[in-house]
Structure 1
């Protein structure tokens, strides 16, 4: 029997240092998030980061926490409920980190008689620290706990025509009453070395301004290329002037070089160049979370206005939009009836 497992990032159980600390420990100790040797990762995470970061992160979570719980969890559960209405197949939800794990999701499906699972990482783009870690963890759990279960993984869907249309329509809907002079596509940041590590050719990804526009098999696992491709596809779909669109990367740790340009630097640059009415979209996420609601919607607005901007709009993620739900239902239906997956 077939079934579906939707997987999102996860969240602390509460916006308190006590609950944020174990969540951050699980997240940051993932070798695909901080890809240092385990001994060094342990020193960095447990010896340094977790001594101060939980308190700071808890304060950030408190700013965006809803009465009903973590926004990412609440949104994911709403999405789950709506997707279930689109199919007769059993559908469960798992989180890569924190409560409601991938293992728990697979156990829910097995209890309903499922032995063939469509794994849906809720990330449009391929990256070691998001899409890949979900797939690897799911396959490890399957091998250890569910050996008779077969898993098929939905590929990264950043350029799927249906997804491009849904995202374009969402942007258009939110911009209809906002007169902007620039749109910034702000993507989750990752270290540059992750791009090189994900390159199957071991030589294509030079991050030199040319490799992302030069055709290569490396693009199948190149987060940077896929992000820029998303911006180009949406720009074309909406007929946006290219001089009113740019891309940047948010969230980074000190030390190693991360993907550039940095979003916070772009806020200042755009304002200083006279782009004073800014709309910001965060296409690396399908569900609003700490990184979109606090870092972009709150801190980003403050940074941009302090730099001289006059108007700022954060465009929400797709969350549980009906057209996004319907598209997921179509993908599930295609897999159920034909065994094929969307491209």
Structure 2
């Protein structure tokens, strides 16, 4: 092993670290305990021998991805060793862009209690000091309210933003991917877009009212893909307010297609202009879908030239035959099931 060229050993280290899903973890945590994760790469490399430690220290790429679990209220007090270890890890990454996954240790009965505490604050302060190098962030730290401004010029992916209003805290001119976990309902009407909104190409929403989808072209004018996990039942009489009706860049849309009222898709598509939409993916729940719902809705959409409607089946499976799908050919070019063209 000691005769291996340093460059080859570095390549092996990088392969091992990059193969770890969800980023290498700096800490090993229990319900009330936390320790350094020296059992896994890259910290493991520093414990084998002096040569491996020297090679690991001279390989910034193995330190540029990190998962940090915040101790919350369960690990008190936080030992000084843990902030020092986090600083050591980030310093070894040099000036490389960072991928950071932030998670908080929470007991089941405090699932929604995210009160700031000293342990979390000390670790987050270290992460915030490197925000100019953030490239991908999972688990937005802004939810803890410890900063009012994030200058993140390299940020391209932001996952698990809890409230869309937090996006105004980010100076992120290169942001491309955004995942919002909070239900977007009334708050979207008062939201004022910033520069980050104009650069976003890919948007994932956990939950939203059907009528609120009409607001997004004005907020995210360059949106290319839109993925919605849950459509909240439409509230009769709700004022849709002023909004834009044209998704000028949208090429792909994913919507749930389960237990919705008959007019849900009509609310979304009536008069909605989708001039470049290529693919509409519908995620089916159990049971036989009412294909006429989407056929009627797409028929009233303006400048809608969808090439493919693709049904993604529920895990229990659905019985979709050619006869059931044929009516869709009046509004689209092809109909597929799980990517396989049926008609």
* TM superposition score category, shorter chain reference: under 0.3
Relative to the length of structure 1, the TM-score reads 0.26
Relative to the length of structure 2, the TM-score reads 0.26
Higher relative contact order (CA 8 A, sep 6+): 1
Higher Cα Rg: structure 1 or 2? 2
Q: Larger strand proportion, structure 1 or 2?
A: 2
Q: Larger helix proportion, structure 1 or 2?
A: 1
